[in-house]
A and B are shown apart, each in its own frame.
Chain A
Amino acid sequence: MGTFIQLVVDGLATGSIYAALALAIVLVNQATGLINFAQGGMAVLSAYIAYVFVQLGLPLLLAIIISVVLSFLFGALVERFLLRRFERGDPDTAVVVTIGLLTLVTGISAVLWGYNNLAFPSLFPLTSVEILGAVVSVRSLATAVTIVVIMVVLQLLFLRTKLGLALRAVADNPASAAFSGLPVGRLLMVGWGLAATLGAIAGVLVAPQLTLTPGMLDTALVYALAAVILGGLSSPIGCVVAASAIGVLENLVAVYIPLIGHDLKIAVPFALIFVILIIRPQGLFGRKVVVRV
């Protein structure tokens, strides 16, 4: 029982990282109708920036805040100068653009910091607490809680502020939004900036655990995409639920089904997707409705 609870809590902690990336992907998709495959790569770059400031002697929290602010600017600039040209065109071309961006950003990280794993300091203490007989690290708990708090803040931003209303209006219908006087271009930049911010937070939270490498979030990106497919592109809450479920399920499967084990656990969400799609193609949308209720 102790192992089980521990696996579930650890799964929720990793799931929350996938959830953060998945939310960033949904945010961009809602605003521009694109899938940003570079979300993970940009998050890694943010983590490296925080790392540089830590190396310069700044306190960790301050370094993270600087990195988050810079990531916001970076995301906004990427939208303005890279994606703007492709947003109204063929979505497949735009996807290739984000893949090019992923390669470029990963390459920049590799040129500047190399491929060696770098140790990133943890924001939270490495001690563990005992919950219901399970030894759970404070880091896992705190990571999960942080992501939940951010999610709530994001939800409030979208539902309770004027900026959130404007963002949703632009996502819903850019032409009408422009006619009612909203600065569509600037709002799209804000949307990308917010997504980059989310990615940056996910990056610095997961970096101590995975150690910093240019390809650190490639796998997490794949999980996040799986969560997005399962949860639905238009439903942030669905994505978070799906991401947490994937995190927990893969942990349980890795331990309790030796045939799959830790090396193949990444196949779990995709096996799930394939089974759902082949047996019941409408299953996805059925799930989405259930999640929304």
Chain B
Amino acid sequence: MSTAATVRRPRVRMILTAVLAVALIAAPLALPAFANQTLIRIGVYAVAVLGLNIVMGYTGQVNLGQIFFVGLGAYVTAYGVNHGWNILLVFFAACAVAGLVGLLVALAAARLGGLAIAMVTIALPIVGVPLAKRLSDFTGGSQGTSARFTDAPDWSGLDNDQWQFYIVLVVSAAAFLLARSLVRGKYGRAFAAVRENEAVAASMGISPYRTKVLAFTIASIFGGASGFLYLAAVQYTSPETLSFGHSISLLAAMVIGGAGSIAGSLLGGAYYVFVPQLTNAIDPNLTTVSQGAILLAVLFLLPGGLVSLPRVVRRLTRRSATRRSTARPAAETSQQTPPAQHPVPDAAPEGPEQTERQDGP
């Protein structure tokens, strides 16, 4: 029970992070190619979900067009690679083009209050697919376009999937660290203020319009980066990449993983990759219906998404624990009573750290 409290201690946390980092760096060398490819795709979509989370989870603006920016990033990457650009330039172009288009869309869409952003952004994938088919000089039309640039170089001695894993790992780790700093800092507080109450935000000198445009643009840049990674992993893109259904799936993944949570974005990426794999194995027709059912179930039972599952479980177990010890109603309000702490082998030392009861919602 007190593992969660232990994790919050800075030193434990640092060690855990280091272990995780070593595990991630070592994983591709040990895992089979298929597992690597699955992890790569989780990284790709986690970045897209992360972008969506910034505009939707943190700023509260429903965005149904995130996949459009993923597709745009992928197309720009393919174009750049096929024209022999430097790979870093390609990456920045993918982010910049997606960000610029996102900025233009947001400048118009954010003028409409409330739900209208959702109603405008739903058009992006619906317009995007015929547009991608039409601009065949740039996109390769319905056949799509492919670009190989992530074959492992000879000096590295790695397989292609291992090399791709490291590319995705570096970019997505950077994206997650950037997003984490963003939502914890000044802009993150502005996002939260706009999400909670636009009038209050405005009265504190935060322009809701500018904040929304900023969040949307950042989300688009993350989408572009995700598109770059998509092409690095799949090496092929077509209009199908940015279809409406995928956009809905991305949104479902964000909510199921956990809206307004960085770790939830990673879970969302995992959901996006795993669940269709699972349902496709059973019956491809079940993919859509299971997604709808899971999304609604999460909204009903677990509004915070999968990331809030440990907290909910802890609350439920604690509630049943207090019910058992009704003889001591004082335990309800006071701090954790000593008998409950005894069974824990690595009991926390005395100090200002939070107890479970305090960090619960």
Contacts and interface: CB of A to CB of B under 8 A. Distances in A.
A267 B130 CA distance: 9
Contact of B285 (A95, A114, A225): A114
Interface residues of A, number: 48
B299 A273 contact: no
Contacts of B293: 104, 107
Interface stretch (B110-118, B182-190, B351-359): B110-118
A265 to B, nearest CB: 9
Contacts of B248: 99, 102-103
Interface string B57-69: 0001110100000
Interface stretch (B84-92, B120-128, B211-219, B335-343): B120-128
Nearest to B127: A267
A59 B120 CA distance: 40
Contact of B292 (A90, A95, A103): A103
B127 A266 contact: yes
B108 A274 contact: yes
A283 to B, nearest CB: 10
Contacts of A115: 285
Interface in A92-113: 92-93, 95-97, 99-108, 110-111
Given A100-B299, A104-B292, A218-B126, A264 B131 contact: yes
Contacts of B126: 218-219, 222, 266
Nearest to A273: B120
A229 interface: yes
Contacts of A261: 134
Nearest to A228: B119
B62 to A, nearest CB: 5
B290 interface: yes
B291 A93 contact: no
Contacts of B108: 273-274, 277-278
A281 interface: yes
Interface string A255-293: 000000101101100100110011001001000000000
B288 A222 contact: no
Interface string B126-169: 11001101100000000000000000000000000000000000
Interface in B227-244: 244
Contact of B118 (A35, A97, A105, A215): A35
A93 B122 CA distance: 16
Contact of A222 (B123, B131, B286, B296): B123
Interface string B279-297: 0000001111111110110
Main secondary structure of the interface of B (DSSP, over half): helix
B300 interface: yes
Interface in A225-255: 225-226, 228-229
A228 B109 CA distance: 14
Given A222-B122, A222-B123, A96 B244 contact: no
Contacts of B295: 96, 99-100, 103-104
B119 A270 contact: no
B262 interface: no
A85 interface: yes
A183 interface: no
Contacts of B123: 222, 225-226, 266-267, 270
A82 interface: yes
A226 B116 CA distance: 10
Contact of A270 (B127, B290, B300): B127
B251 A96 contact: yes
Given A99-B64, A229-B116, A266-B127, 4 more contacts: A108-B289, A110-B289, A222-B123, A278-B107
